[in-house]
Structure 1
Amino acid sequence: MKDTLQPGIRYEHKFIVPISKTVPALYPESAEFVAMPEVFATGFLVGLLEWACIKAINPHIDWPDEQTVGTHIDVSHEAATPPGLEVTATVELTAVEGRKLIFAVEAHDGVDIISKGRHERFVINRERFAAKLGEKMRGNSSSCA
């Protein structure tokens, strides 16, 4: 982590919603999801907010050796957004507690505020994280045999 990783970092990320990011595309294996309206899916909205947070802080960490993973999300999804509208995600780093990063997040679709809330990320060392995942997979495969 660099010394510049401090509260107050802001970032705005714009994204035009394609049909591939609507509710039916979230889990195409689910007949229930496939039957839902073609509006921006909450799952993809969460991913967009995470993406904006990642973009905000990557210049302030030793990317790609250091990365961040989402550890908590508490957001509303207040309005439906049809495909073709541009969503603007605005994020602000509000606290740095060791390797834990806390963000205020908001999204707007040009008509309505569609989301507000809070997101936490944790700075990881990519190599150590991959090693721990490898251990987990080895432990899981031996218990399944």
Structure 2
Amino acid sequence: MKETLKPGIKYEHKFVVPTSKTVPSLYPESEEFTAMPEVFATGFLVGFLEWSCIKAINPHLDWPREQTVGTHIDVSHEAATPPGLEVTAAVELMEVDGRKLVFSVEAHDGVDLISKGRHERFVINKEKFDAKVREKGMHNE
């Protein structure tokens, strides 16, 4: 982690919602999801907010050796967004507690505020993290 990784880092990220990021595409295996409206899925919204936080702080990490993983998400999903609209996430790093990072997040689709809340990420050493995941996977063999 670089010395520049401090509260106050802000980032704005934009993304045009394609049909592939709507509810029926979230789990195509799910009969229930495929029957639902074609609007930006909450699961993809969460991923978009994570992506925005990653982009905000990557310049302040020793990327790609250091990366971050999401550890907590507490966000609303307040309005439906059809495909074709551009969503904008505005994120701000509010707290750095060791390797724990706390962000304030919100997203707007040009018409409505669609999400607001809080997201936590944890700084990892990718090599060590991958080794632990491989070890965990061996328990299934």
Give 5+ residue unaligned stretches, structure 1: none
Read off the aligned partner of 1:86 and give its amino acid letter: E
Match of 2:138 in 1: 138
Distance 1:10 1:140 in 2: 41
Match of 2:21 in 1: 21
Q: Deviations over 1:7-43 (max 9, x none)?
A: 0000000000000000000000000000000000000
Q: CA deviation at 1:51?
A: 0.1
Read off the aligned partner of 2:108 and give its amino acid letter: H
Read off the aligned partner of 1:108 and give its amino acid letter: H
Distance 1:66 1:137 in 2: 22
Paired residue secondary structure (1:140): coil
Match of 1:3 in 2: 3
In the TM superposition, 1:73-112 aligns within 5 A as 73-112=73-112
Q: Deviations over 1:98-125 (max 9, x none)?
A: 0000000000000000000000000000
Read off the aligned partner of 2:127 and give its amino acid letter: E
Q: Give % identity.
A: 80
Give 5+ residue unaligned stretches, structure 2: none
Q: CA deviation at 1:140?
A: 2.4
TM-score normalised per structure 2:
0.99
Q: Deviations over 1:51-107 (max 9, x none)?
A: 000000000000000000000000000000000000000100000000000000000
CA-based RMSD of the aligned residues comes to: 0.4
Distance 1:96 1:102 in 2: 7
Match of 2:33 in 1: 33
Paired residue secondary structure (2:72): strand
Runs (4+) off by over 6 Å: none
Q: CA deviation at 1:138?
A: 1.1
